[in-house]
Chain A
Amino acid sequence: MDIAIPPDIAFILLATVTLLAAIMALQAKELIYGAISLAISFIGIAGFFVFLDAPYLAMLQIAVYVGAVVVLILFTIMLVRREVVRETEEHEEGGEGSIGLWIAGLLAVSIAGVAALAGPNLPTTAPPANLPVSELGPVLAIDYPVPLVILALLLSAALLGALVLAKLEKGQ
C-alpha cells in the first residue's frame, strides 16, 4: 500500500470487533446469529494473523474455520428442531451466571495483568522478519514429518468416527 495508516488504530479496531463478535456469539438470542458472529470473530483472528506476518495461516483460518466449521455448525443448528433450541435459551443464567463471569473475568485479568507487569521485559516492536510462505513447507515436511503423518491418521479417524456416528443415529 502506498497510503500510510498508523497500525495502532487498525489493531484496536480489529481487537474490538473480534472481542465483541465473540461475546455476541455466546449471548445472541438466536443460535444462527451466534454462528454468524462466531464467523466474524474468526475473520478477525485471521486479520490478526495477517498483522503477525503469517498470511498463509490467515487464509487457512478463513478456509477451514469459516468455510468448514461454521458450515457444520449451521447444519447442526438446522437439524436440531427450533422449539428445542428456544426452550433452552430461556432462564439461562441464575447464580451460575455471575460465578462463571467472576471466574472467567479473574482468569483473564490475571493473565493480562501478568503480561502488563512483565511488559518492559517483553519486546515492544517486532524484530525484522523474513518469514516467507515458501519456508513453511520444508519445515513441515522435513523438520516435523511425524506430526504430519499423525495428523493425516487423525483426520482419517475423525472422518470414520463421524461416519459411524451418523450411521448409528440412522440405525436406531
Chain B
Amino acid sequence: MVNLPATPADILPFIIALVTSHTFITIVLFPGFIHLMLVVMFLTWYERKVLARIQLRIGPLYAGGPGGILQPIADGVKLIFKEVMIPYKANKPLFIWIPLALVFFAAVPFAVIPFGQHWVIANLDVGLVFVFALTSLFPSMILIFAWASNSKYPFLGGLRSLFQQVAYEIPMWISALSVVLLAGSLSLVDIVNAQQKIWFMVPAFLSFVVFFIAIMAELERLPFDLPEAEPELVAGWYTESSGAIFMVLFLALYMKLYLMSSLVTVLFLGGWWGPAFLPQPVWFILKTLIVATFIIIPRGVYARIRVDMLIKLGWTRLLILALANVFLTVLLLNTGVLSMWGL
C-alpha cells in the first residue's frame, strides 16, 4: 500500500514508491497511456501501407525513417497547425469537448484488457460488461457531435451512424454471450485463462464470424461505410471538424480499432497464450495486429453495403446466427463434448 505523505519529509519516498508501483507502471507505461499512443500512431501508418499494397502502390514513404514510419508524427504536426473552423452558429463547447470525450471513452476500456497474466490494470469481475457498456456510449456522443455541427451533411451522417452502431451492438453482445458461457465468467482474465487448451474460435466459430462482422460495422469500416459515404455526405459526421479537432477524432477512431481488435483476441483467439519462446504481451500484440490487418483489408476490396441490406443484416440475420450459436454452445457444454479441453 502506498500511503499519502503525512509529513513533508515523506514526499520524496512517496513519489518514488508511486512511480515504481505496479498500478502506475501499468497505467502509464505498458498497457496504458504511452503504449496506447504508440500503437495507435503505428496503426495509422500501418493502415495506409496495407491499403497501398492492396491498391498496387507504395504508401507513405518520405516522412522519415524506414518506410515512412514517422508519417503519423508528420500528420499530427500538420493537423495541429491547421485552422480550426467552427461552423456558423455551431455549438462551440460541445464541438470541442465531444471529441475529447470520445477519446476518453475509447481509451478507458483498455483498463480491463489483459495483455499478459499480470499485465492488466484492473481485473474487474465484470470486465466484459464494462467494455460493452462503454462502447455503447459512442452512438449518443456521435449524434450530439453531429447535431452540434449545425449542418446538414454531418447531421445525416450522424443519424446513419447511430442507426448502424445501435443495430450491430446486439449481435456483438450475444456472440460474446457464447464466450461467457464457455468460460463461465465475465472477467476478461478468466476468459483468457479458460482458453489455455483451445481457442474459443474453434467451438464458437459462428460467434467469431458474427462478432467480427459486428465489429466492422461498429468501427464504420468499409463495407459498412455509410456514415462516411464520400459521394453523398462529404465526410459524414465529422465533415465540419478540422485541425486539432479532427486529429483528436482520428485518434479516437484508431483507438477504437485497437480496442475492438484486442477484444477479438481476448474473446476468441486465446489472448496471450502461445508457445513460450516469446513473452506473453508480444503474442497478444501480434494476434491483435493480425486481426487489425483483417479488419483493414476489406476497405480496399469491397464495395459499400446498401442501407436496407445493412439494417436487415444487423437486426435479423446476424442476430439469428448469434442466437443459434448460443444454443449450440449450451448443447456442446451439456453433452460434455468440450470436457477434454477443460470447458
In the complex they form, whether A and B have CB atoms below 8 Å apart is answered with yes
A3, A32, A68, A70 pick with most chain B CB within 10 angstroms: A3
Whole-angstrom distance from the CB of A71 to the nearest CB of chain B?
A: 5
Contacts of A59 in B (CB 8 A): 126, 129-130, 132-133
Q: Chain B residues near A146 (CB, 8 Å)?
A: none
Residues in B with CB closer than 8 Å to A4 are: 1-4
Q: For the complex, give the distance between the alpha carbons of A1 and B22 in Å.
A: 9
Task: Verify B1–A68 contact, CB threshold 8 A.
Answer: no
A78 within 8 A of B: yes
Q: How far is the CA of A3 from the CA of B3 in the complex (A)?
A: 6
Is chain B's interface secondary structure helix, strand, loop, or mixed overall? Answer: helix
B340 CB to closest chain A CB (Å) equals 24
Contact B2 A60 (CB under 8 A): no
Chain B contact-residue range equals: 20 to 34
Pair B2/A2 contact, Cβ less than 8 Å: yes
Closest to B134 in A: A62
Q: For the complex, is B293 an interface residue (Cβ under 8 Å from A)?
A: no
Expressed in whole angstroms, the minimum distance between the Cβ of A160 and any Cβ of chain B is 15
| Residue of B21, B130, B162, B185 with most chain A CB atoms under a 10 A cut-off | B130
Is B301 in contact with chain A by the CB < 8 A criterion? no
Q: Is residue B70 within 8 Å, beta carbon to beta carbon, of the partner chain?
A: no
A133 to B127, CA, bound (A): 11
Contact A71 B162 (CB under 8 A): yes
Is B137 in contact with A62, judged by CB distance below 8 angstroms?
yes
Given A4-B1, A55-B124, A134-B185, A32 and B144 touching (CB < 8 A)?
A: yes
- Enumerate 13 A-B pairs (CB-CB under 8 Å) in ascending A order: A2-B1, A2-B22, A3-B18, A3-B23, A4-B3, A59-B129, A62-B137, A66-B137, A67-B140, A71-B140, A74-B140, A74-B144, A78-B143
